[in-house]
Amino acid sequence: MAVLDYYRILGVKPDCTLEEVRRRYRVLARQHHPDHNPDDPEAADRFRLIAAAFEAIQAARAQARAKGRSRRNAANYRQPRFTGKEEVFEEFFGICQDGSPLSWSPGADFRYDLEIPLVAAIKGVVSVIQVDQHPNCRPCGGTGLAAGTGYRECPECQGRGRRFGGPGLLRFGPVCQGCRGRGKIVAVPCRHCAGAGWRSQAKEYHLRIPPGTQDGARFRIMGEGGAGFLHGPRGNLLVVIHVAPHDFFTRVGNDIHCKVEVSFAEAARGCAIRIPTLDGYQWVDLPQGTQGGWSCRFIGAGAPGTPTQSPGDQVNEVIVTTPQNLSFQQRSLLRELDRLAPGQLDRAGHE
């Protein structure tokens, strides 16, 4: 049937907007739904015809849009993920229509969870990932059909794409598993892909992760997901970044926090300590009598800034460790220190 006939079925002009088509479809679908016309045996046929017309118009519009854009951006364009069809079916049946008996459907989105070290996330890195791709089978052009053969009506659902379910004349049940809701099946499967229309193939991607990437960041690689059905567009590949916890660095906003342990003796007498940074080490002089919680900042040594955020610092906090398992001599020295300490404090008070 020509697309123009579908417009006639819905009673809309071919140049109207998709929103107008959708509105008209909702009105007609409600009016002719078999559940609303229990005494009219032809209502089911009319309803099917209306649904088919709406889907065909949507598909034609989407393909026209794709053509228009592919001229402008041949490399990147992909179809929008969701058409209005799902919403409408949800509205009528409280479920989502999976696939369609008449038209193409887009490929699935792939998700890849990638764990990278904290330092790599802050400094930026190129990660190589391998994703199992499902490219369209070339010999059958993604149709799954052996050369010179066609589809046939699905025997499990008689081409409806859904099974009967529940009471009522024509209640739509769950999606037919035999044809996955498409209403038709491959009669003679392509021998290269066993009728699936795609093959399994690992593909390598060099993913450039920019400096300052946060935990949970997402990168979308357009058109690198699953293959579409019947020349439908491929899905996208979504890479979700997980930043692995670091032994001594923690990221807070753009700042990097680092806890540095020093011994009781080092803190008391003061010393030079070596603090790890993202670029190596930096020496810091601890003053005499440093208390636990003493901190210092390396300006600009954190994560890089963005147009809206300033670059972070490295914030170092000193943790004074209390000695354990002391020898007899160490214990007696500490007792001696304890005995002297009150005197020192008194003298400091009188000075």
Positions that interact with Zn ion (CB under 5 A): 137, 140, 154, 156-157, 176, 178-179, 190, 192-193
Least Å distance, CB 142 to Zn ion, is 7
- Residue 346 phi/psi, 5-degree rounding, is -60, -45
CA-based R_g, the chain, Å = 34
Minimal distance, residue 141 CB to Zn ion, in Å: 8
> CB 195 → Zn ion: shortest distance, Å?
7
Taking the least distance from each CB to Zn ion, the nearer of 28 and 176 is: 176
* Measured CA angle at 110 (ends 176, 69), to 5 deg: 95
Specify the residue, 84 or 178, whose C-beta has the smaller distance to Zn ion. Answer: 178
Question: Are the C-beta atoms of residues 27 and 18 closer than 8 Å to each other?
Answer: no
| Kind plus residue range of the DSSP H or E element containing 29 | helix 18-32
Q: What is the DSSP letter of 146?
A: P
| Tokens 């417009």, located at residue | 7
Quote the least distance from Cβ 234 to Zn ion, whole Å.
Answer: 16
Provide the pairing of β-strand 237-244 with 218-221: antiparallel
**CB of residue 258 vs Zn ion: minimum separation in angstroms?**
56
Give the nearest distance from C-beta 58 to Zn ion in angstroms: 21
CB nearer to Zn ion: pick between 137 and 303: 137
CB of 147 to Zn ion, least distance (A): 10
Please, are residues 227 and 136 in contact by the beta-carbon 8 Å criterion? yes
Reading the block at residue 268, the tokens are: 């008391």
Given the complex with Zn ion, which of 81 and 191 has the nearer CB atom?
191
Nearer to Zn ion, 98 or 215 (CB): 98
Least distance (Å) between residue 137 CB and Zn ion:
3
All residues at 6 or more sequence positions from 252 whose CB lies less than 8 Å from its CB, including other chains: 315
Residue-by-residue DSSP string for 239-266: EEEEEEPPSSEEEETTEEEEEEEEEHHH
- Which CB sits closer to Zn ion, 101 or 302? 101
DSSP state of 233: P
User: Which CB atom, from 161 or from 312, has the smaller least distance to Zn ion?
Assistant: 161
203 forms beta bridges with: 131
Shorter beta-carbon distance to Zn ion: residue 190 or 301: 190
- Report yes or no: 105 and 186 within 8 Å, Cβ to Cβ: no
Q: Which two tokens stand for residue 144?
A: 């799954």
